[in-house]
Amino acid sequence: MRPLTEVADAAVKVFTDKGFRSAGISDVAAALGLSHGALYTYVDSKQALLYLALLRTIQPDAVVTLPLPVAAPPTDEIVTLLESWMVAQASERVTGAPGVLGTRPAEEELGAIVDALYGFIESNRRTLQLINRCAADLPELAQWFFVQRRRSMLEQLGEYLRKGIESGELRPVPDIPAAARFINETIAWFAMHRYGDPDSAMLDDDACRRTVRHLLLAAFLPEARETP
């Protein structure tokens, strides 16, 4: 018997590399050096394998308590589990920042938003990569991740930019939704996606964090208020 944690880790890698539809039970079995049939000792379906992988990334120690073979809960229960994780991880650090507009100078507010979003993505990149790769194959997961969560965050960020521009605290931009996505995608690339690029993965983490913060603040703050 292999530890369930090893099965879960193999599933994380396979689903992140291939997505849900293209990945198979046999792929995870091969990664573990097991036969296709032997993997059914640990999970009863591919859906259960994905659940095991997701649980491993958000509650690493929880998988050891699961009875074998692991059965997949309904998709809506998996989404509820992920929503609880997201709220616990992100509500105060990311979506809470735009809710206190006007209480601090713009450079502090925007800096706090950049820091919070970068920290969330960087510390949870394994989970986010797995969700992002599999959501395209699972409509309920895609609806939660891309529509309810990411789109809502971009709308909040856009509203923050709009108010800051109208008050003169931030520089005008040609298009606010594009500017909001520019902030998010710049952070996401350096905090998560660059690890898939052999050249960029070698960059120092702290240097990336500080440089992204500096450049984003310089892009949106009036010139006289840019900070080194």
pLDDT in tens, the chain (228 residues): 889 999 999 999 999 999 999 999 999 999 999 999 999 999 999 999 999 999 999 999 999 999 999 999 998 999 999 999 988 886 555 444 444 455 678 889 999 999 999 999 999 999 999 999 999 899 999 999 999 999 999 999 999 999 999 999 999 999 999 999 999 999 999 999 999 999 999 999 999 999 999 999 999 998 755 455
Is the domain spanning 4-65 CATH 3.40.50.2000? The answer is no
If one looks up domain 75-225 in CATH, what number appears?
Answer: 1.10.357.10
Distance CA 26, CA 39 (A): 8
Q: Tokens for 57?
A: 């990334």
In the chain, domain spans:
4-65, 75-225
Quick one: pLDDT at residue 99? Answer: 47
